[in-house]
Structures are given as C-alpha cells and as structure tokens.
Structure 1
Amino acid sequence: MSDLTVERRVTANDAVPSAAVTTVDQQAFRDAMAKLSAAVNIVTTDGPAGKAGFTASAVSSVSDTPGTLLVCLNRGSSVYPTFQANEHLCVNTLAAHHEALSSLFGSRSSTEERFAATEWDVLHTGSPVLQDALVAFDCRVEEVVSAATHDIFICRVLAIKQGQSTDGLVYFSRGYHAVRG
C-alpha cells in the first residue's frame, strides 16, 4: 500500500481553480505532437462553392453507429470557405506510395494542379474520391464545432470505397513512413 492519502476526491462537477489552468509553449506542443503517429489523408470537396482539397492528419473516427468521422480544418486555410459552403467531403486515406501527392495537396499549389496529378472518381456526394486510395469515406457534414484556430467537421459517412493497397502512409516525427499491412 502507498503512504499517499486522499483528502478529497475531485469530481467532474468540481470547478478547477483558475491558478491551476496553464498553457504550454506552442513549440513544445508541436514537438510533442510530432511524436503522435497519424494516418495521412487528402480531404476533398466539390459542389456549389467549387472544388478543393488539402492534406490532413487531424481525422478520427467518432462512432460506428452511425459511421461518423471528424475532420479538423484551420479557419484561416485558403480552402476553408469552400469546405464550409459545400457541406460534404471525402476523406481519402493515403497508401504508402502517395507521399508526393500528400506533399502536393499540402503545398500552395493551385486547385487545378492538385487534382490534375492523379485520377479521381465520385461516390454519393460528388466529392472527389482518389481512385487508388487505401480507403475513401464519402461524407455529409452534419455539425461544425469551433475550437481554437480550427473548426471540427463532424461527418456522417454515406459511402466507403476500399482500395487494393494494403500499405498505409503515416506522418511521424515530421516525416512520412510506410506502414506495412
């Protein structure tokens, strides 16, 4: 047994004293996040506001009932207004051989250059689906939550396309890495 005694249990309803709230240095946070492996995705949309796409690692499953994902997008991004207005998107999870495509969609290249670099299909929403994606999730945006500099798009999955590749692409320690399936 430990010599530690608990004087008072803290519950979720207890207020946290403001002196206990701290912030971390931005660079320290970025350095720490570099240690978090994440799948690499190209998120796309096409609709009344136009076509757009960007590279993202801030994508996560929310629920399987119903199939729901979240996608984070900086409100200052040049593609933000297009995604906000179109209200649907496709999360294209990249295979190991997509490193150059990921870099292109993460650059300041034009929309035309980005989409001309490879072949695309469409599923339910009309958002571009990468033909050789590891997997693609075609989604309708159901809710948007603002947090700090980003909006979190809560997305209902309407269609899924499984690719042929079994090797994924992750971003870790500020670099791309293949994950063998």
Structure 2
Amino acid sequence: MSAHLPVDRLGFLQAMGNVAHSVSVVTTDGREGKFGQTVTSFCSVSADPPQILCCIRTGSPLKSAIEMNGCFAINVLGERDFRTAEVFAGRSTEFPAYSFEHVAHGKDHNGCPIFDSASSQFSCLLTSSIGSASHAIFVGNVTDARLGRDAPLLYRSRNYGTHVSMKRSQ
C-alpha cells in the first residue's frame, strides 16, 4: 500500500459543505442538566435492533451531559424551523444561545426534550460512545420514533432549504 497524504482541510470542508444534510437538534436531560445542540451528523446504524448514531464535538457541554444522563433525543427539524437551528447552533440574534424558551417542546419517556414541530423524533438510550478526533460518536438504542407533519429542514453550502421531490423512473 502506498502512503496517502492528508487531504487539504479547506478542500475537505468545501466538499462536505456541498452535501445536503437534514438539520437536527440533539437534546438530553437528567442529573447533568438539560442541553440541546444543532447537528447535521446523525444516521441510522441498524433497524434490527433500531439504533442511531450522532456526532458531538468533544468540547461541547452536550457531550458530557449525554454521557452522564445516559439518553438523548434527535429532533429532525421541520422545514420552517431554521430559527431553532440557529438558536441551538449558538448563532441566533433573536434568542439566547441553546435556549429552549422559544421552542414548544415536551419530554419523551426518557426525560429528553422533544420538539412539537419536529419532522421526525427519535428517543434513544445511550449504548456506546467512541472518541474520534474532535468528536464523540454516540450510539443509542431507539426506544421511540415519531413522524411529524412537516418535511425536514436541509442544510447545504451554508444555506437552509427543503427537498424537492422528483418522479422516479420505473
């Protein structure tokens, strides 16, 4: 095998920025406290049993809160929830960063905040975490999944948008 040179960081970020992602807020609550943060990195791991993973920056207070609380919820934001995405990314000029005050929400059976307007919701019990470079990868067993009414909010090239359906060929 030949040695590979590391990819250029800027080139990597530009290429990843061109990939459309759903926008989600990962939340937790428990003895370590109530936290939420916008993420674009989550995906299904397995359907048998249902498992999801999400990636959280190592320095985020959400990382230690998930580890201590042992649970998390993934709120896939609806197409009109870009303000919520900005609040939980710490970039809002209208509301305090990471504040739950502006978003209608309840709690799932694990005690984690779930957003009323979410396109999809997944309640998870933490099963494992893996450190990888600047992030922690959390894997959770899905204990509940709910489908909302709105289409998901997407993020690509530093802009929010929605999905446009196209007819599949048969």
TM-score normalised according to structure 2 size: 0.89
Pick the aligned partner of 2:127 from 105, 129, 142: 142
- Matched residue of 1:132: which SS? coil
Alignment of 1:161 onto 2:146: yes
1:125 CA displacement: 0.6
Alignment of 1:81 onto 2:74: no
Q: Percent identity?
A: 29
1:110 CA displacement: 4.4
Report the Cα distance in structure 2 between the residues aligned to 1:178 and 1:98, rounded to whole angstroms: 11
- Matched residue of 2:34: which SS? strand
Alignment of 1:43 onto 2:26: yes
Report the Cα distance in structure 2 between the residues aligned to 1:163 and 1:65, rounded to whole angstroms: 23
Q: Which of structures 1 and 2 has the bigger CA Rg? A: 1
1:130 CA displacement: 0.4
Q: Judging changes above 3 Å, is the alpha-carbon distance between structure 1 residues 131 and 180 closer, same or farther for their aligned structure 2 residues?
A: farther
Letter in 2 for 1:71: C
Report the Cα distance in structure 2 between the residues aligned to 1:160 and 1:90, rounded to whole angstroms: 10
Q: Cα deviations across residues 49-81 of structure 1 (Å, max 9, x unaligned)?
A: 000000000001111111100000011123322
1:180 CA displacement: 4.9
**Is residue 104–residue 116 contact of structure 2 (8 Å, CA) maintained in 1?**
yes
**Is residue 53–residue 140 contact of structure 2 (8 Å, CA) maintained in 1?**
yes
Aligned to 1:175: 159
Query: Aligned-pair RMSD on alpha carbons?
Result: 1.4
**Is residue 168–residue 180 contact of structure 1 (8 Å, CA) maintained in 2?**
no
Q: How many residues align?
A: 161
**Is residue 58–residue 136 contact of structure 2 (8 Å, CA) maintained in 1?**
yes
Pick the aligned partner of 1:61 from 36, 41, 44: 44
Report the Cα distance in structure 1 between the residues aligned to 2:139 and 2:89, rounded to whole angstroms: 22
Pick the aligned partner of 2:101 from 81, 104, 116: 116
- Which of the two has greater helix per residue? 1
Q: Cα deviations across residues 30-52 of structure 1 (Å, max 9, x unaligned)?
A: 11100111100011000010000
**Is residue 87–residue 97 contact of structure 2 (8 Å, CA) maintained in 1?**
no
Q: Cα deviations across residues 104-154 of structure 1 (Å, max 9, x unaligned)?
A: 10016444xx20011111222110010111010000110001111111001
Report the Cα distance in structure 2 between the residues aligned to 1:179 and 1:102, rounded to whole angstroms: 17
Aligned to 1:33: 16
Report the Cα distance in structure 1 between the residues aligned to 2:17 and 2:46, rounded to whole angstroms: 26
- Matched residue of 1:62: which SS? strand
Aligned to 1:96: 79
Report the Cα distance in structure 1 between the residues aligned to 2:84 and 2:149, rounded to whole angstroms: 18
Report the Cα distance in structure 2 between the residues aligned to 1:144 and 1:150, rounded to whole angstroms: 10
Moved over 6 A (4+): none
